[in-house]
Amino acid sequence: MTDTAVETARPELKRVIGPRLLLLFIVGDILGTGVYALTGQVAGEVGGAAWAPILLAFVVATITAFSYLELVTKYPQAAGAALYTHKAFGVHFLTFLVTFAVLSSGITSASTAAKFLGENFIVGFGLDWGQGGVTAVAVTFVALLAVINLRGVSESLKLNVVLTLVELTGLLIVIAIGLWAMTQGGADLGRVMVFESAEDKTTFLALTSATSLAFFSMVGFEDSVNMAEETKDPVRTFPRVMLTGLGITVTVYVLVSVAAVAVVPVGTLSESTTPLLEVVRAGAPGLPVDVIYPFLSMFAVANTALINMLMASRLIYGMARQDVLPRTLGLVMRSRRTPWTSIVFTTLVAAGLIITVTNFMGEEAVTALGGTTALLLLCVFAVVNVAVLVLRRRPVGHEHFRSPRVLPYLGALTCAFLVGPWAQDPIEYRIAGVMLGLGVVLWFLTFLWNRAVRAKKTRFGDPAALEG
């Protein structure tokens, strides 16, 4: 049987994602948990003008989004950045490292979100379960996500709709309270235009660091391309929906940052681990915020975890179909048409990471690990922008979106700039080295696996192996 016949015989993923579901997927993924925590950190870097780095981060993210749009409409398949790298350069080692970087960012984000959900669950219900209880709740939650994911992408996206609407409601409450405080004289709009950098940083470095922080809260649009094989008419749907999603989220971010700085002093925001809670307390002291916000936070992180686990499983599935990973990880459940082996694999990895983080790592290391995965993701974005330029020499037989000629160059340069030491914490480079070392080990094991499979097929006279 030829490779084409094998692909035809395999069940494909079910196309159930229309424009509205895709828009909610993108908005929910970008909003995520970042806006609930990063508002204070960005304000701490640049003062009241926290909206400025958010707008700069939006510009950088949108430039890279144009590159993703050209590639996803040119190659509407699962696997996203890893697939584009594979097609552009054809270097198995580089493709695997890109796959590993994207996978790490997704699973680490989902695991961290699940851990945070466990903590809020215990606080919200007033339980005294300790660290073991946090681990149990988080692992149970990840297992529940796997069950939802196995039932089908339609069920997963319906849950995403609910979580995104609740998550967005929490942010709209902050914006409304900020506007109310402004009309009642309880806000200082003058702070919004004040730019203050830390004593040990120049204005340029402070703005760069703040833009890097804000950029991490803008990522998420890239996850959607891993759902291309489950999207109806992806060539027409992706461009307008992705750009609309970015526009909605940056509007929400800017309004939240303005409301936060106007209502709460910058010092209080930057020192708080729950900056939006400080805004609600100061702007509407009569609301029962201590009861409401732990549950709103749970919804927010649940959505982040759901979307990242969806993305990670589709990434594994897509690259298994490209023989970058063992083909066993690309098996599809015939009854539900979901990639069951990749779902099981990513769930086990996430559960293991949760147990490790909650029991063996300090809070500072956990924060640095999250920053490291974002650092790796910026490296991936730089590679994707270069891949667009390479693949423009290889036309395809259908119409697709075309990014303006200069944007991929700007995207590669801006992402590479934000990877520099002027925008990153030194500890993140050390952790990235360890993670890439692990990636090299996994690549070598995959290489041995594929070679053994090819040798077995050749020994028994498999035509596809002999043709390869």
Q: What is the mean predicted confidence (pLDDT) over 6-32?
A: 73
Please state the rounded mean pLDDT for residues 369-382: 78
Residue 98 has pLDDT above 80, yes or no: yes
Burial code of 138-171, b = ≥16 C-beta within 10 A, e = fewer?
bbebbeebbebbbebbebbbeebeebbebbbebb
Whole-prediction pTM: 0.80
Scanning 184-288, the segments in alpha helix (DSSP H) are 203-218, 234-263, 266-271, 275-283
Q: State the Rg of the chain over Cα.
A: 22
The answer on pLDDT for 37 being more than 70 is no
Q: What is the pLDDT of residues 135-168, one digit of tens each?
A: 898 899 999 989 988 887 777 778 878 888 888 8
* Complete domains list, the chain, with CATH: 3-467 (1.20.1740.10)
**Which pLDDT tens digit goes with each residue over 62-72?**
999 999 999 99
Length of the chain (residues): 468
Picking from 351, 278, 325, the residue whose alpha carbon sits closest to that of residue 110 is 351
For the stretch 170-185, pLDDT in tens is 888 889 988 988 888 8
Is the confidence at residue 382, as pLDDT, over 80? yes
Q: What angle do CA 9, 331, 398 make, to 5 degrees?
A: 60
Whether the Cβ atoms of residue 415 and residue 383 lie closer than 8 Å to each other: no
Q: Helix, strand, or coil here: 152? A: coil
pLDDT of residue 373: 67
CA distance 448 to 352: 24
pLDDT reported for residue 288: 73
At residue 290, does pLDDT exceed 70?
A: no
Range among 192-201, 325-334, 396-405 rated most confident: 396-405
Average confidence (pLDDT) over 220-248: 87
Q: Which of residues 3 and 352 earns the better pLDDT score? A: 352
**Mean pLDDT, residues 271-278:** 77
Beta partners for residue 17, in sequence order: 231
pLDDT band at 359 (very low <50, low <70, confident <90, very high): low
Instruction: Report the distance separating Cα 67 and Cα 126, nearest Å.
Output: 47
210 vs 389, residue with greater confidence? 389
Sign of CA dihedral 250, 253, 255, 258: negative
